[in-house]
Amino acid sequence: MMRNLIPVLTVLIGIVAIWYLAVAPMNIRVSLDQAERAGLQVTPERAVERRDVSSWVLLANNFEHAGAGYSLDRPRLPTPQQVGQELWKTTGAMVMKGRTWSKRSLIYHGWITLRSTFWGFLLGTSIGIALSIAIVYSRVAEMSLMPWAIISQAVPIVALAPMIIVLSSQIGVDGRGFPKALISAYLCFFPVLVGMVKGLRSPQAEQLDLLKTYNATGFETFLKLRLPASVPFLFTSLKVGIAAALVGAIVGELPTGAISGLGARILIGDQFGNPLAIWSALFAAAILAGVLVTLLDRTQAVLLRQMGMRS
Amino acid sequence: MTTPVISAKNLSLTFETNDGPVHALKDVNLDINKGDFVSFIGPSGCGKTTFLRCIADLEAPTGGSITVNGVSPTEARETRAYGYVFQHAGLYPWRTIGRNIRLPLEIMGNDKAEQDKRVAEVLELVDLVGFDKKFPWQLSGGMQQRASIARALAFSADILLMDEPFGALDEIVRDHLNEQLLQLWAKTEKTIGFVTHSIPEAVYLSTKIVVMSPRPGRISDVIDSPLPAERPLEIRDTPEFLEIAQRVRDGLRAGHSYD
């Protein structure tokens, strides 16, 4: 346990250290603008002149003002501590004030995103599994479906997302729930499809021959051999798929003037020049993804153990 | 005269490959009678596995004819006339030993009580009583292969086809399984087709040894063993045994050009 803990902690400390070190040069311009307004001595003196000087030179010449970059209201790059405080303010503190579902609470926004993620994941997984079955059992289906599945992933989702929202409103679907789930499913079906094709094809020739000697039907072969053999592959894909579904849900909230959801928080933070809101929403999304993947990972471990397989 | 259980006449099988046709089997004639223990021995590419797979309807011959229980291999397979043991035990890792053995019974639609009874019977037959709740990875390679034999015995097919079942096992385990297989054969009176690379194994087990040679795959000698049905392991040191082994070796050499 201790032996694992040390490298894990080392990496974590390294990331935080680099982050803290980066705050000074990233925020130096904002710090100097603030110092200038406060009437303090800065070089060069005027903002227009500073524009042409690199951050590193500014940092070197005004080192006494670098410290101010760690406590700005609207930093270019907030410190980990600031992000942590903002996260707490918009989650735990809201809960303690009984305002869990307030529009300012990240729990509320996270829930909106999670709901879309869930529907998208369900839809995407179902589509992925259905297509994989078709592809494994039919050469024609493989030739006609697989290229489109691959091309679909080459299209940037940010370009496609607004169109999906516009088109779904054209066919009379109100609200963002459905198009968001669709965008989410669009990203999530592919890893499930690829993993399941591999999983359903994983039984060896001897195992398939064995069932032939029993004169088993195709459906029995599917149920008793291909499906159980694909379970480890399925879960590996589901873990990738749920993270993709979350990204899809957030992207679905970005370009659409949505007002709720983590994606909307990121967009609003950007529009109102509030980096703390962006960073805390990003971290909320990352934490959410981590929780979802861990949940699937635990489910996989329990299920595979019950199936007698060592993972 | 009794009709043979398996009868091949001028059986041929040619695979078309990019490098031209490969004659896996050419004009193979062989009768196997009820209760025979027939070994197929020969170097790689001699068609011994292909012949077994033709019996099992896992390959389709391109010439000649073959009957199993008097009907075509397809019909025989559809009536579940044989059990097949593959080179690798091929147990399903997500099923316990008991449920692996139950697999053919589930597919063949036996009821639960009948399944339980059959599983208990064959576990006893292969000396694996008490292991039915274990998963395959908890068993040694030899035990896994015994479980796969039990799986092939679970439904009452009269024919047992075995494709190098002990090929991947070490000598000591192999000797032990060979001995057990003979006892099992005596008990069940099945007709057994057995593919092997090992001369002592073929001579020790068989009532009939079919020596095959490659390019094209064909039978070069058929030896009816004069050894008694009762065969302790020590029989392998008797002059009779060595004499048959020598004849098999000669047959292998004759069919194989080393130039």
From CA A96, how far away is CA A111, in angstroms rounded?
A: 18
Cβ atoms of A32 and A7 closer than 8 Å: no
Of B56, B88, B96, the CB nearest to A206: B88
Assess if residue A126 is contained within a domain.
yes
Query: What's the Cα-to-Cα distance from A85 to each of A82, A106, A276, rounded to whole Å?
Result: 5, 13, 10
Cβ atoms of A228 and B92 closer than 8 Å: yes
From CA B13, how far away is CA B6, in angstroms rounded?
A: 17
Is A120 in the same domain as A205?
yes
Q: According to the model, what pLDDT value does residue B259 have?
A: 41
Q: Is 70 exceeded by the pLDDT of residue A158?
A: yes
Of A209, A224, A308, the CB nearest to B135: A308
- Phi-psi region at A64: left, alpha or beta (left = phi > 0; alpha = psi -120 to 50): alpha
Assess if residue A139 is contained within a domain.
yes
Q: Please give the residue that has the higher pLDDT: either A299 or B2.
A: A299
Is A67 in the same domain as A140?
no
Question: Cβ–Cβ of B94/A210 closer than 8 Å?
Answer: no
Question: Cβ–Cβ of A224/B84 closer than 8 Å?
Answer: no
Cβ atoms of B243 and B75 closer than 8 Å: no
Q: Partners of B162 in the beta sheet?
A: B85, B194
Written as tens digits, the pLDDT of chain B (259 aa) is 578 899 999 999 998 888 888 888 999 999 999 999 999 998 888 889 999 999 999 999 999 999 999 899 999 999 888 999 998 888 999 999 999 999 999 999 889 999 999 999 899 888 899 999 999 999 998 899 989 999 998 888 889 999 998 887 888 888 888 888 898 898 888 999 999 989 999 999 999 999 998 888 888 889 898 888 888 888 888 998 999 999 999 888 876 655 4
- Phi-psi region at B36: left, alpha or beta (left = phi > 0; alpha = psi -120 to 50): beta
Assess if residue A256 is contained within a domain.
yes
Residue A138: CA count within 13 A, CB half-sphere:
11
Question: Cβ–Cβ of A213/B84 closer than 8 Å?
Answer: yes
Is A246 in the same domain as A286?
yes
Assess if residue A262 is contained within a domain.
yes
Is A64 in the same domain as A137?
no
Residue range A228-240, pLDDT digits in tens? 999 999 999 999 9
Q: According to the model, what pLDDT value does residue A169 have?
A: 82
Assess if residue A18 is contained within a domain.
yes
From CA B68, how far away is CA B53, in angstroms rounded?
A: 12
Is A285 in the same domain as A170?
yes
Is A64 in the same domain as A8?
yes
Domain final position from A77, A95, A125: A77
Number of independent structural domains in chain A: 2
Cβ atoms < 10 Å from Cβ of B17? 8
Query: What's the Cα-to-Cα distance from A212 to each of A209, A230, B65, rounded to whole Å?
Result: 5, 19, 21
Number of H helices, E strands in chain B: 8, 9
Question: Cβ–Cβ of B84/A228 closer than 8 Å?
Answer: no
Residue range A86-131, pLDDT digits in tens? 899 888 877 888 877 878 888 889 998 999 999 999 999 999 999 9
Residues contacting residue A230 through CB under 8 Å, at least 6 positions apart: A196, A199, A200, A202
Query: What's the Cα-to-Cα distance from A127 to each of A113, A121, A190, A191, B137, rounded to whole Å?
Result: 21, 10, 9, 11, 34
Cβ atoms of B62 and B14 closer than 8 Å: yes
Assess if residue A96 is contained within a domain.
no
Cβ atoms of B190 and B162 closer than 8 Å: no
**Domains contained in chain B, CATH given:** 1-12+40-81+158-259 (3.40.50.300), 92-156 (no CATH)
Dmax over CA atoms of chain B, in Å, equals 60
Question: Cβ–Cβ of B58/A212 closer than 8 Å?
Answer: yes
Is A146 in the same domain as A42?
no
Q: How far is A127 from chain B (nearest CA, A)?
A: 26
Q: According to the model, what pLDDT value does residue B187 have?
A: 86
Question: Cβ–Cβ of A207/B90 closer than 8 Å?
Answer: yes
Rg (alpha carbons) of chain A, rounded to whole number: 25
Is A25 in the same domain as A170?
no
Q: According to the model, what pLDDT value does residue A115 have?
A: 92
B96: closest chain A residue by CA: A308
How high is the ipTM of this complex?
Answer: 0.88
Cβ atoms of A266 and A224 closer than 8 Å: no
Mean model confidence pLDDT for chain A = 89
Produce one character per residue of A32-54: b if its CB has 16 or more CB atoms within 10 Å, e if not. Answer: bebbbeeeeebebeeeeebeeee
A218: closest chain B residue by CA: B107
Q: CATH number for the domain including A237?
A: 1.10.3720.10
Assess if residue A95 is contained within a domain.
no
Amino acid occupying residue B128: L
Is A64 in the same domain as A114?
no
Q: Is 80 exceeded by the pLDDT of residue A1?
A: no
Contacts of B83 in chain A (CB under 8 A): 213
Q: According to the model, what pLDDT value does residue B214 have?
A: 86
User: Which stretch of A134-148, A213-227, A252-266, B80-94 has the lowest confidence by average pLDDT?
Assistant: A252-266
- Phi-psi region at B45: left, alpha or beta (left = phi > 0; alpha = psi -120 to 50): left
* Domain encompassing residue A258: 106-306
A210: closest chain B residue by CA: B84
- Residue A69 has what DSSP assignment? G
Q: How far is B43 from chain A (nearest CA, A)?
A: 21
Assess if residue A128 is contained within a domain.
yes
Q: According to the model, what pLDDT value does residue A242 have?
A: 96
Amino acid occupying residue A282: L
From CA B53, how far away is CA B8, in angstroms rounded?
A: 13
Is A126 in the same domain as A168?
yes
Is A277 in the same domain as A143?
yes
Residue range A169-198, pLDDT digits in tens? 888 877 778 888 999 999 999 999 999 999
Q: Is 70 exceeded by the pLDDT of residue A311?
A: no
Q: According to the model, what pLDDT value does residue A168 have?
A: 84
Is A266 in the same domain as A135?
yes
Look up residue B201 and give its two tokens: 């194994």
Q: How far is A128 from chain B (nearest CA, A)?
A: 24
